[in-house]
Structure 1
Protein backbone atom coordinates (compact mmCIF):
# COMPACT_ATOMS: atom_id res chain seq x y z
CA UNK A 1 0.00 0.00 0.00
CA UNK A 2 1.34 3.42 -0.91
CA UNK A 3 1.36 5.24 2.45
CA UNK A 4 1.65 8.62 0.77
CA UNK A 5 -1.65 8.50 -1.12
CA UNK A 6 -5.05 7.88 0.42
CA UNK A 7 -8.40 8.32 -1.30
CA UNK A 8 -11.74 9.53 0.04
CA UNK A 9 -14.75 8.28 -1.96
CA UNK A 10 -17.98 10.19 -1.33
CA UNK A 11 -21.38 8.53 -1.90
CA UNK A 12 -24.98 9.65 -1.45
CA UNK A 13 -27.50 8.63 1.22
CA UNK A 14 -30.56 9.94 -0.64
CA UNK A 15 -33.09 7.49 -2.09
CA UNK A 16 -36.39 9.24 -2.90
CA UNK A 17 -37.66 10.99 -6.01
CA UNK A 18 -40.44 13.58 -5.57
CA UNK A 19 -43.05 11.64 -7.57
CA UNK A 20 -41.57 8.41 -8.95
CA UNK A 21 -41.90 5.24 -6.86
CA UNK A 22 -38.49 3.94 -7.92
CA UNK A 23 -35.57 4.59 -5.60
CA UNK A 24 -32.28 6.27 -6.37
CA UNK A 25 -28.92 6.18 -4.58
CA UNK A 26 -25.34 5.49 -5.60
CA UNK A 27 -24.87 4.42 -9.23
CA UNK A 28 -22.74 1.40 -8.36
CA UNK A 29 -20.31 1.41 -11.31
CA UNK A 30 -19.32 4.98 -10.52
CA UNK A 31 -17.71 3.69 -7.33
CA UNK A 32 -16.56 0.25 -8.51
CA UNK A 33 -15.11 1.15 -11.91
CA UNK A 34 -13.30 4.16 -10.46
CA UNK A 35 -11.83 2.21 -7.56
CA UNK A 36 -10.92 -0.74 -9.78
CA UNK A 37 -8.43 1.55 -11.52
CA UNK A 38 -6.93 2.64 -8.21
CA UNK A 39 -6.88 -0.84 -6.69
CA UNK A 40 -3.93 -1.88 -8.85
CA UNK A 41 -1.90 0.66 -6.90
CA UNK A 42 -3.23 -0.77 -3.63
CA UNK A 43 -4.11 2.71 -2.38
CA UNK A 44 -5.76 3.16 0.97
CA UNK A 45 -9.33 4.42 0.81
CA UNK A 46 -12.32 5.36 2.91
CA UNK A 47 -15.96 5.82 1.96
CA UNK A 48 -17.92 8.74 3.41
CA UNK A 49 -21.51 9.89 2.94
CA UNK A 50 -23.45 12.95 4.14
CA UNK A 51 -25.15 11.05 6.98
CA UNK A 52 -22.72 8.16 7.33
CA UNK A 53 -23.87 4.55 7.62
CA UNK A 54 -25.32 2.50 4.79
CA UNK A 55 -24.97 3.79 1.23
CA UNK A 56 -28.10 2.94 -0.80
CA UNK A 57 -27.51 1.57 -4.29
CA UNK A 58 -29.78 2.52 -7.17
CA UNK A 59 -31.31 -0.82 -8.13
CA UNK A 60 -31.07 0.03 -11.81
CA UNK A 61 -27.29 0.09 -11.41
CA UNK A 62 -26.97 -3.23 -9.57
CA UNK A 63 -25.75 -5.04 -12.66
CA UNK A 64 -23.68 -7.95 -11.41
CA UNK A 65 -23.21 -9.25 -14.95
CA UNK A 66 -20.75 -6.36 -15.03
CA UNK A 67 -17.63 -8.17 -13.80
CA UNK A 68 -16.23 -5.11 -12.04
CA UNK A 69 -19.48 -4.48 -10.17
CA UNK A 70 -19.62 -8.15 -9.20
CA UNK A 71 -15.99 -8.15 -8.08
CA UNK A 72 -16.28 -5.19 -5.72
CA UNK A 73 -19.88 -5.71 -4.59
CA UNK A 74 -18.74 -9.08 -3.23
CA UNK A 75 -15.43 -7.80 -1.89
CA UNK A 76 -15.81 -7.94 1.93
CA UNK A 77 -13.81 -4.79 2.67
CA UNK A 78 -15.40 -2.67 -0.06
CA UNK A 79 -18.91 -3.85 0.85
CA UNK A 80 -18.30 -3.21 4.55
CA UNK A 81 -17.16 0.33 3.81
CA UNK A 82 -20.27 0.92 1.66
CA UNK A 83 -22.57 -0.36 4.40
CA UNK A 84 -20.72 1.48 7.19
CA UNK A 85 -19.64 4.70 5.53
CA UNK A 86 -18.04 7.40 7.66
CA UNK A 87 -19.68 10.69 8.57
CA UNK A 88 -18.05 13.85 7.17
CA UNK A 89 -17.42 15.10 10.69
CA UNK A 90 -15.16 12.10 11.32
CA UNK A 91 -12.87 12.96 8.40
CA UNK A 92 -9.47 14.62 8.76
CA UNK A 93 -8.82 16.14 5.32
CA UNK A 94 -5.07 16.06 5.93
CA UNK A 95 -5.23 12.25 5.67
CA UNK A 96 -6.24 12.33 1.99
CA UNK A 97 -4.59 13.37 -1.25
CA UNK A 98 -7.66 12.75 -3.41
CA UNK A 99 -11.40 13.20 -2.92
CA UNK A 100 -13.77 11.60 -5.43
CA UNK A 101 -17.52 12.18 -5.64
CA UNK A 102 -19.38 9.21 -7.11
CA UNK A 103 -22.73 9.91 -8.71
CA UNK A 104 -26.26 8.63 -8.83
CA UNK A 105 -29.30 10.88 -8.86
CA UNK A 106 -29.45 10.92 -5.06
CA UNK A 107 -26.42 13.19 -4.92
CA UNK A 108 -28.49 16.05 -6.35
CA UNK A 109 -30.30 16.30 -3.01
CA UNK A 110 -27.58 15.73 -0.42
CA UNK A 111 -24.26 16.86 -1.98
CA UNK A 112 -24.56 20.53 -3.07
CA UNK A 113 -25.36 22.14 0.28
CA UNK A 114 -23.23 19.97 2.58
CA UNK A 115 -20.88 22.46 4.24
CA UNK A 116 -18.66 19.83 5.83
CA UNK A 117 -18.02 18.08 2.51
CA UNK A 118 -17.29 21.48 0.96
CA UNK A 119 -14.76 22.19 3.71
CA UNK A 120 -13.07 18.80 3.26
CA UNK A 121 -12.85 19.38 -0.49
CA UNK A 122 -11.40 22.86 -0.04
CA UNK A 123 -8.75 21.66 2.41
CA UNK A 124 -7.65 18.74 0.24
CA UNK A 125 -7.42 20.98 -2.83
CA UNK A 126 -5.72 23.87 -1.03
CA UNK A 127 -3.15 21.42 0.38
CA UNK A 128 -2.20 20.36 -3.15
CA UNK A 129 -4.47 17.31 -3.43
CA UNK A 130 -6.79 16.35 -6.25
CA UNK A 131 -10.56 16.67 -6.60
CA UNK A 132 -12.47 14.32 -8.90
CA UNK A 133 -16.15 13.68 -9.57
CA UNK A 134 -18.32 11.88 -12.08
CA UNK A 135 -21.83 12.27 -13.45
CA UNK A 136 -24.27 13.72 -10.87
CA UNK A 137 -21.47 13.63 -8.29
CA UNK A 138 -20.10 16.78 -9.91
CA UNK A 139 -22.94 18.66 -8.20
CA UNK A 140 -20.87 18.46 -4.99
CA UNK A 141 -18.47 21.00 -6.51
CA UNK A 142 -21.04 23.71 -7.25
CA UNK A 143 -20.62 25.55 -3.95
CA UNK A 144 -17.03 24.69 -2.99
CA UNK A 145 -15.20 27.92 -2.20
CA UNK A 146 -11.40 27.91 -2.02
CA UNK A 147 -9.40 29.72 0.65
CA UNK A 148 -8.92 32.70 -1.67
CA UNK A 149 -12.70 33.15 -1.85
CA UNK A 150 -13.16 31.91 -5.42
CA UNK A 151 -15.43 29.06 -6.43
CA UNK A 152 -13.58 25.86 -7.32
CA UNK A 153 -15.46 25.57 -10.63
CA UNK A 154 -15.21 29.25 -11.59
CA UNK A 155 -13.67 29.51 -15.07
CA UNK A 156 -12.57 25.86 -14.88
CA UNK A 157 -12.98 23.17 -17.53
CA UNK A 158 -15.57 20.73 -16.20
CA UNK A 159 -18.16 18.24 -17.35
CA UNK A 160 -21.03 16.39 -15.68
CA UNK A 161 -24.37 14.80 -16.49
CA UNK A 162 -25.86 16.74 -19.39
CA UNK A 163 -29.34 18.19 -19.84
CA UNK A 164 -29.88 15.88 -22.81
CA UNK A 165 -28.93 12.78 -20.82
CA UNK A 166 -31.31 13.84 -18.05
CA UNK A 167 -34.12 14.26 -20.56
CA UNK A 168 -33.38 10.94 -22.24
CA UNK A 169 -33.77 9.04 -18.95
CA UNK A 170 -36.93 11.09 -18.27
CA UNK A 171 -35.79 12.39 -14.92
CA UNK A 172 -35.33 16.03 -15.89
CA UNK A 173 -38.54 16.97 -14.07
CA UNK A 174 -37.67 14.94 -10.95
CA UNK A 175 -34.27 16.39 -10.09
CA UNK A 176 -34.11 19.67 -8.12
CA UNK A 177 -32.04 21.30 -10.88
CA UNK A 178 -30.23 20.43 -14.09
CA UNK A 179 -26.52 19.98 -13.46
CA UNK A 180 -25.32 21.32 -16.81
CA UNK A 181 -27.29 24.56 -16.28
CA UNK A 182 -26.12 24.89 -12.66
CA UNK A 183 -22.46 24.53 -13.62
CA UNK A 184 -22.79 27.19 -16.31
CA UNK A 185 -24.49 29.51 -13.80
CA UNK A 186 -21.41 29.15 -11.58
CA UNK A 187 -19.21 30.30 -14.50
CA UNK A 188 -17.79 26.82 -15.10
CA UNK A 189 -16.51 26.15 -18.61
CA UNK A 190 -18.84 23.22 -19.20
CA UNK A 191 -18.37 20.80 -22.08
CA UNK A 192 -19.80 17.41 -23.00
CA UNK A 193 -19.55 14.58 -25.49
CA UNK A 194 -21.28 15.14 -28.81
CA UNK A 195 -23.08 11.84 -28.31
CA UNK A 196 -24.81 11.24 -24.95
CA UNK A 197 -23.80 8.39 -22.62
CA UNK A 198 -20.31 7.98 -24.11
CA UNK A 199 -17.19 8.29 -21.90
CA UNK A 200 -16.02 11.89 -21.61
CA UNK A 201 -13.81 13.64 -19.08
CA UNK A 202 -12.37 17.10 -18.51
CA UNK A 203 -9.10 17.84 -16.75
CA UNK A 204 -8.20 21.25 -15.36
CA UNK A 205 -4.99 20.97 -13.36
CA UNK A 206 -5.94 19.09 -10.14
CA UNK A 207 -9.65 18.91 -11.01
CA UNK A 208 -10.90 15.88 -12.98
CA UNK A 209 -14.57 15.43 -13.88
CA UNK A 210 -16.48 12.80 -15.87
CA UNK A 211 -19.79 13.21 -17.68
CA UNK A 212 -21.66 9.98 -17.03
CA UNK A 213 -21.32 6.44 -15.58
CA UNK A 214 -19.19 5.18 -18.47
CA UNK A 215 -16.67 7.93 -17.68
CA UNK A 216 -15.82 6.56 -14.21
CA UNK A 217 -12.95 4.33 -15.28
CA UNK A 218 -11.48 7.11 -17.41
CA UNK A 219 -11.57 9.46 -14.41
CA UNK A 220 -9.75 6.84 -12.34
CA UNK A 221 -7.06 6.39 -14.97
CA UNK A 222 -6.54 10.12 -15.34
CA UNK A 223 -6.30 10.64 -11.60
CA UNK A 224 -3.57 8.00 -11.35
CA UNK A 225 -1.73 9.58 -14.25
CA UNK A 226 -1.85 13.01 -12.61
CA UNK A 227 -0.70 11.68 -9.22
CA UNK A 228 2.03 9.24 -10.24
CA UNK A 229 3.26 10.22 -13.69
CA UNK A 230 3.70 13.98 -13.47
Structure 2
Protein backbone atom coordinates (compact mmCIF):
# COMPACT_ATOMS: atom_id res chain seq x y z
CA UNK A 1 0.00 0.00 0.00
CA UNK A 2 1.37 3.41 -0.96
CA UNK A 3 1.79 5.79 1.98
CA UNK A 4 -0.53 8.85 2.12
CA UNK A 5 0.11 11.74 -0.28
CA UNK A 6 0.89 14.09 2.59
CA UNK A 7 4.23 15.68 3.44
CA UNK A 8 5.39 16.85 6.86
CA UNK A 9 8.08 19.53 6.89
CA UNK A 10 10.07 19.72 10.13
CA UNK A 11 11.23 23.17 11.27
CA UNK A 12 13.91 24.01 13.82
CA UNK A 13 12.67 25.53 17.10
CA UNK A 14 16.14 26.74 18.03
CA UNK A 15 17.72 30.15 17.61
CA UNK A 16 21.12 31.48 18.61
CA UNK A 17 23.53 34.32 17.75
CA UNK A 18 25.54 33.43 14.64
CA UNK A 19 25.95 36.53 12.48
CA UNK A 20 27.58 39.93 13.08
CA UNK A 21 25.96 42.16 15.75
CA UNK A 22 24.42 39.10 17.44
CA UNK A 23 21.95 38.45 14.63
CA UNK A 24 20.49 34.97 15.03
CA UNK A 25 20.18 31.74 13.12
CA UNK A 26 16.84 29.95 13.07
CA UNK A 27 14.70 28.52 10.27
CA UNK A 28 16.24 29.23 6.86
CA UNK A 29 13.01 30.37 5.19
CA UNK A 30 13.49 29.06 1.63
CA UNK A 31 14.57 25.64 2.93
CA UNK A 32 10.97 25.18 4.10
CA UNK A 33 9.17 27.36 1.53
CA UNK A 34 10.70 25.83 -1.60
CA UNK A 35 9.91 22.23 -0.54
CA UNK A 36 6.42 23.38 0.52
CA UNK A 37 5.87 24.72 -3.02
CA UNK A 38 7.24 21.56 -4.66
CA UNK A 39 5.07 19.24 -2.57
CA UNK A 40 1.94 21.35 -3.15
CA UNK A 41 2.59 21.39 -6.91
CA UNK A 42 2.90 17.58 -6.82
CA UNK A 43 -0.52 17.27 -5.21
CA UNK A 44 0.55 16.72 -1.59
CA UNK A 45 -1.13 18.16 1.46
CA UNK A 46 1.67 19.80 3.48
CA UNK A 47 1.96 20.46 7.21
CA UNK A 48 4.71 22.14 9.26
CA UNK A 49 5.91 20.86 12.65
CA UNK A 50 8.62 21.82 15.14
CA UNK A 51 9.71 20.17 18.38
CA UNK A 52 8.21 22.90 20.59
CA UNK A 53 5.57 24.34 18.25
CA UNK A 54 7.63 27.52 17.86
CA UNK A 55 10.15 28.88 15.34
CA UNK A 56 12.36 31.91 14.72
CA UNK A 57 13.50 33.02 11.27
CA UNK A 58 17.18 32.92 10.39
CA UNK A 59 18.32 36.52 9.90
CA UNK A 60 20.41 35.81 6.80
CA UNK A 61 17.52 33.92 5.17
CA UNK A 62 15.32 37.04 5.34
CA UNK A 63 17.84 39.27 3.54
CA UNK A 64 17.45 40.25 -0.11
CA UNK A 65 20.24 37.96 -1.39
CA UNK A 66 18.64 34.87 0.15
CA UNK A 67 14.91 35.61 -0.09
CA UNK A 68 13.91 36.40 -3.69
CA UNK A 69 11.02 38.85 -4.13
CA UNK A 70 8.40 36.20 -5.01
CA UNK A 71 9.38 34.21 -1.91
CA UNK A 72 9.37 37.34 0.23
CA UNK A 73 5.80 38.14 -0.80
CA UNK A 74 4.64 34.66 0.28
CA UNK A 75 6.59 34.77 3.54
CA UNK A 76 5.38 38.25 4.53
CA UNK A 77 1.74 37.53 3.60
CA UNK A 78 0.12 36.18 6.77
CA UNK A 79 -2.81 34.98 4.64
CA UNK A 80 -0.65 32.76 2.38
CA UNK A 81 -1.02 29.06 3.15
CA UNK A 82 2.69 28.73 3.93
CA UNK A 83 2.77 31.64 6.38
CA UNK A 84 -0.52 30.59 7.97
CA UNK A 85 0.89 27.13 8.67
CA UNK A 86 4.14 28.65 9.92
CA UNK A 87 2.23 30.96 12.28
CA UNK A 88 0.23 27.96 13.56
CA UNK A 89 3.06 25.44 13.52
CA UNK A 90 2.25 22.00 14.90
CA UNK A 91 3.96 20.19 17.78
CA UNK A 92 4.79 16.46 17.55
CA UNK A 93 1.83 15.69 19.85
CA UNK A 94 -0.48 17.27 17.22
CA UNK A 95 0.78 14.92 14.52
CA UNK A 96 -0.29 11.38 13.59
CA UNK A 97 2.69 9.90 11.74
CA UNK A 98 0.53 7.47 9.75
CA UNK A 99 -1.06 10.42 7.92
CA UNK A 100 2.20 11.15 6.07
CA UNK A 101 4.24 9.60 3.25
CA UNK A 102 7.13 12.09 3.28
CA UNK A 103 9.06 13.57 6.21
CA UNK A 104 11.27 16.50 5.18
CA UNK A 105 13.70 18.14 7.63
CA UNK A 106 14.20 21.76 6.62
CA UNK A 107 17.07 23.60 8.23
CA UNK A 108 19.14 26.62 9.11
CA UNK A 109 22.24 26.36 11.30
CA UNK A 110 19.90 26.33 14.32
CA UNK A 111 18.93 22.75 13.36
CA UNK A 112 22.34 21.67 14.64
CA UNK A 113 21.20 22.80 18.09
CA UNK A 114 17.78 21.18 18.51
CA UNK A 115 17.45 18.41 15.91
CA UNK A 116 19.90 16.00 17.61
CA UNK A 117 17.67 15.96 20.72
CA UNK A 118 14.27 16.44 19.01
CA UNK A 119 12.77 13.14 20.19
CA UNK A 120 9.27 14.02 18.98
CA UNK A 121 10.36 14.79 15.43
CA UNK A 122 12.73 11.82 15.37
CA UNK A 123 9.97 9.43 16.46
CA UNK A 124 7.61 10.69 13.74
CA UNK A 125 10.32 10.32 11.08
CA UNK A 126 11.32 6.85 12.30
CA UNK A 127 7.71 5.65 12.13
CA UNK A 128 7.08 7.15 8.68
CA UNK A 129 10.23 5.37 7.48
CA UNK A 130 10.03 2.03 9.27
CA UNK A 131 6.31 1.46 9.82
CA UNK A 132 4.83 3.49 6.99
CA UNK A 133 7.57 2.66 4.47
CA UNK A 134 7.63 6.32 3.45
CA UNK A 135 10.38 8.76 2.46
CA UNK A 136 12.63 10.60 4.92
CA UNK A 137 14.42 13.62 3.50
CA UNK A 138 16.63 16.43 4.80
CA UNK A 139 18.36 19.47 3.32
CA UNK A 140 21.50 21.34 4.40
CA UNK A 141 21.78 21.16 8.22
CA UNK A 142 18.54 19.15 8.45
CA UNK A 143 20.70 16.02 8.48
CA UNK A 144 21.44 16.80 12.14
CA UNK A 145 18.24 14.87 12.88
CA UNK A 146 19.48 11.53 11.45
CA UNK A 147 21.43 10.20 14.46
CA UNK A 148 18.14 9.97 16.36
CA UNK A 149 16.04 8.44 13.57
CA UNK A 150 16.52 4.78 14.42
CA UNK A 151 15.55 1.82 12.26
CA UNK A 152 14.12 -0.69 14.79
CA UNK A 153 15.18 -3.62 12.59
CA UNK A 154 18.87 -2.65 12.93
CA UNK A 155 18.95 -0.49 16.06
CA UNK A 156 21.00 2.00 14.02
CA UNK A 157 20.29 5.29 12.28
CA UNK A 158 18.31 4.95 9.05
CA UNK A 159 21.32 6.40 7.19
CA UNK A 160 23.69 3.66 8.36
CA UNK A 161 25.32 2.24 5.22
CA UNK A 162 23.69 4.86 3.00
CA UNK A 163 25.05 7.68 0.84
CA UNK A 164 23.98 11.13 2.03
CA UNK A 165 24.86 14.76 1.46
CA UNK A 166 24.40 17.93 3.52
CA UNK A 167 26.15 21.20 4.24
CA UNK A 168 29.92 20.88 3.82
CA UNK A 169 32.47 21.48 6.55
CA UNK A 170 34.29 23.59 3.96
CA UNK A 171 31.21 25.80 3.75
CA UNK A 172 31.29 26.27 7.54
CA UNK A 173 34.94 27.27 7.29
CA UNK A 174 34.23 29.72 4.44
CA UNK A 175 31.47 31.32 6.53
CA UNK A 176 33.83 31.52 9.51
CA UNK A 177 31.41 29.77 11.86
CA UNK A 178 33.09 26.45 12.60
CA UNK A 179 34.17 27.71 16.03
CA UNK A 180 30.60 28.75 16.84
CA UNK A 181 29.35 25.26 15.98
CA UNK A 182 32.05 23.79 18.22
CA UNK A 183 30.92 26.13 21.01
CA UNK A 184 27.44 24.59 20.67
CA UNK A 185 29.15 21.20 21.17
CA UNK A 186 27.61 19.95 17.93
CA UNK A 187 29.26 18.02 15.06
CA UNK A 188 29.19 19.27 11.47
CA UNK A 189 26.87 17.43 9.10
CA UNK A 190 29.83 15.58 7.56
CA UNK A 191 31.01 14.38 10.99
CA UNK A 192 27.47 13.47 12.05
CA UNK A 193 26.94 11.38 8.89
CA UNK A 194 30.20 9.50 9.50
CA UNK A 195 29.18 8.84 13.13
CA UNK A 196 25.96 7.26 11.80
CA UNK A 197 27.85 4.91 9.49
CA UNK A 198 26.82 6.80 6.35
CA UNK A 199 29.00 7.76 3.39
CA UNK A 200 29.01 11.53 2.95
CA UNK A 201 28.91 12.67 -0.69
CA UNK A 202 30.14 16.22 -1.22
CA UNK A 203 28.49 18.59 -3.71
CA UNK A 204 30.80 19.97 -6.45
CA UNK A 205 31.02 23.21 -4.41
CA UNK A 206 29.57 24.22 -1.01
CA UNK A 207 26.83 26.33 -2.64
CA UNK A 208 26.00 24.20 -5.70
CA UNK A 209 22.51 22.67 -5.94
CA UNK A 210 23.05 18.98 -5.22
CA UNK A 211 20.90 16.10 -4.02
CA UNK A 212 21.49 12.45 -3.19
CA UNK A 213 18.92 9.63 -3.13
CA UNK A 214 19.68 6.27 -1.53
CA UNK A 215 16.57 4.11 -1.31
CA UNK A 216 13.98 5.96 0.78
CA UNK A 217 16.50 8.49 2.16
CA UNK A 218 16.82 11.72 0.17
CA UNK A 219 19.27 14.48 1.13
CA UNK A 220 20.32 17.89 -0.20
CA UNK A 221 23.43 19.98 0.33
CA UNK A 222 22.48 23.61 0.98
CA UNK A 223 19.79 26.32 0.55
CA UNK A 224 20.13 26.16 -3.26
CA UNK A 225 19.29 22.44 -3.06
CA UNK A 226 15.97 22.70 -1.19
CA UNK A 227 13.90 22.72 -4.39
CA UNK A 228 15.68 19.81 -6.11
CA UNK A 229 15.78 17.78 -2.89
CA UNK A 230 12.01 18.05 -2.53
CA UNK A 231 11.63 17.07 -6.21
CA UNK A 232 13.86 14.04 -5.59
CA UNK A 233 11.75 13.14 -2.53
CA UNK A 234 8.61 13.25 -4.66
CA UNK A 235 10.33 11.07 -7.28
CA UNK A 236 11.31 8.54 -4.59
CA UNK A 237 7.73 8.60 -3.28
CA UNK A 238 6.32 7.95 -6.78
CA UNK A 239 8.64 4.94 -7.06
CA UNK A 240 7.26 3.29 -3.90
Runs of 4+ residues deviating >6 angstroms: none
TM-score for the superposition, normalised by structure 1: 0.92
Q: CA deviation at 1:217?
A: 0.7
Aligned match of 2:58: 58
SS of corresponding position for 1:70: helix
Structure 2 residues not aligned, in runs of 5+: none
Q: What is the alpha-carbon root mean square deviation over aligned residues?
A: 1.9
Deviations 1:150-185 (A, max 9, x none): 221111110111100011111111113212112112
Aligned match of 2:42: 41
Q: CA deviation at 1:71?
A: 4.6
Aligned match of 1:6: 6
Deviation larger for 81-90 or 93-102: 81-90
Q: CA deviation at 1:62?
A: 1.2
Deviations 1:6-28 (A, max 9, x none): 11000011111389611110111
SS of corresponding position for 2:212: strand
- Answer whether contact 1:32 1:68 (CA < 8 A) is retained: no
Aligned match of 1:222: 232
Rounded to whole Å, the distance in 2 between the matches of 1:4 and 1:116 is: 20
- Answer whether contact 1:33 1:68 (CA < 8 A) is retained: no
Aligned match of 2:122: 118
For 1:27-176, list aligned pairs within 5 A: 27-53=28-54, 55-63=55-63, 66-73=68-75, 74=77, 76-126=80-130, 127-148=132-153, 149-175=155-181, 176=186
**How many equivalent pairs are there?**
227
Q: CA deviation at 1:194?
A: 2.7
TM-score for the superposition, normalised by structure 2: 0.88
- Answer whether contact 2:18 2:24 (CA < 8 A) is retained: no
SS of corresponding position for 1:142: helix
